[in-house]
Structure 1
Amino acid sequence: MYTTLAPTLSARLFPKVSRLLRDVILILSGSLLVAAFAHIRIPLPFTPVPITGQTFAVLLVGATLGSRRGTASLLLYLAAGIAGLPFFAGGERGLAYLTGPTGGYLLGFVLAAWLVGRLTEQGYERDPRTALLPFLAGEIAIYLVGVSWLAILLNDLGEALALGFLPFIAGDILKMVVAAMLLPAAWKLVE
């Protein structure tokens, strides 16, 4: 698409703030956004993996902050949750939560933020015809790590797919489409 890295939406919105201050504020804000969306949680009776708003927030954080700040936001999010802040789905916290059935998805968030950020730095989210690509790549990253981890815990890839992937496809497609519609519109507002 583009050969040079484009400025991220966040850099465009805050051009006059010192870079270090902007980075700290944006990284902290990204982490808090994911933590807030983690509290949007719908447990499903047939799977240990709930529907949450986290994946939507992860996609937005990666897309608006770029690969470096997006990744830093998700690493901060994980560190805060491990340290005991109620940042994980349903207000969960601690290192033990990361070793449970949703731990792989949480680790996948870091990869997804980097990947979505990297693709948006190349300008894919600016054009409605290509805006879905970064978000699709992010979702694939989350599922790759999350379902793999769940398969290890369950010792069964088929069951991991049935419990940790198939029930979420429709909702995640909706999240991707909404994110893909928001970003080109946001760029039109700031340009």
Structure 2
Amino acid sequence: MQSRTLAQPMIEVIMSRKGILYDVLLILGGSLLTALSAQIAIPLPFSPVPITGQTFAVLLVGTLLGSRRGALAMLAYLGEGLLGLPVFAGGRGGLAVFMGPTAGYLWGFVAAAFLVGSLAERGWDRHIWSAGAAMFLGNGVIYLFGLPWLSYFLPGSLSQVLALGLYPFIPGDILKLALAALALPSGWALLQRRKG
């Protein structure tokens, strides 16, 4: 059986505060990090989906904050965008984004943050291979939501949806997974050294 320390998200080990204000600040901080990462965007002329830093932020926020706070941070992010704040890629916001081709990916952020947060709460973020596996699964959840929604906007076959909504993003996803898989266990090692 895991100890209480191993079941805590990293943020709780770093900052042992409790309370609703603390939770709200963490959730808003996670949504802000995602909004800032969305501004790192490279439009692809052949696809309605840009390359962004969002997915990395989503997976990192979920892992650091845990399942509930991570998912709530993504819901706050979506709420900010729905209110018209320019938090999405390219400084976009508003209801039109939720009706467009990338909306499925956005909804996938909530489920992905919850999943990687749940896995982190089980210690998956402590070791390089399990951290990489958690990030891979979280990324898969984003595509699980994003690709079916995108298919409504792309006439043609499944191969076209994959060619425009998945394949161009694989190299960047591999890089993001590798960064997270290295950074998270390293963060835990530093925390253990600091405690020791």
Deviations along 1:39-59, whole A, 9 cap, x unmatched?
Answer: 000011111110000000001
Aligned pairs for 1:20-35 (under 5 A) are 20-35=20-35
Gaps of 5+ in 2: none
Counterpart position of 1:44: 44
Map of 1:188 onto structure 2: 189
CA contact under 8 A between 1:3 and 1:122: conserved in structure 2? Answer: no
Question: Residue 126 of structure 1 aligns with which residue?
Answer: 126
Q: Does the 8 Å CA contact 2:55/2:109 hold for their aligned counterparts?
A: yes
Using the aligned pairs only, state the percent identity.
54
Partner of 2:90: 90
CA apart distance, 1:154:
1.9
CA deviations on 1:72-119 (whole Å, 9 max, x unpaired) are 000000000010110000100001111111111111111100011011
Superposition pairs of residues 100-115 of structure 1, within 5 angstroms: 100-115=100-115
Query: Aligned residue for 2:170?
Result: 169
Q: Is the 8 A contact 2:129 2:181 kept in 1?
A: no
Q: Which moved more, 1:146-155 or 1:29-38?
A: 146-155
Q: Stretches of 4+ moved more than 6 A in 1? A: none
1:127-163 per-residue CA deviation (whole Å, 9 max, x = no partner) reads 1231111100110000111011001222442211110
Distance 1:148 1:160 in 2: 8
> 1 CA distance for matches of 2:135 and 2:18?
29
> 2:61 corresponds to which residue?
61
Classify 1:18/1:170 alpha carbon distance in 2 versus 1 (closer, same or farther; 3 Å): same
For residue 178 of structure 1, what is the aligned residue in structure 2?
179
What TM-score comes out, normalization by structure 1 length? 0.95
| Alignment partner, residue 117 of structure 1 | 117
Deviation larger for 57-66 or 19-28 = 19-28
Structure 1 residue runs of 5 or longer lacking an equivalent are none
The 1:3/1:46 distance shift into structure 2, 3 A limit, reads farther
Q: How many residues align?
A: 190
CA contact (8 A) 2:119 2:134 kept: yes
Q: What is aligned with 2:12? A: 11
Name the counterpart of 1:99. Answer: 99
How far apart are the structure 2 equivalents of 1:145 and 1:9? 27
TM-score, reference length from structure 2:
0.92
Query: For the structure 1 residues 155 and 132, does the alpha-carbon distance in structure 2 shift closer, same or farther, using more than 3 Å as the test?
Result: same
For 1:172, the aligned partner's letter is: D
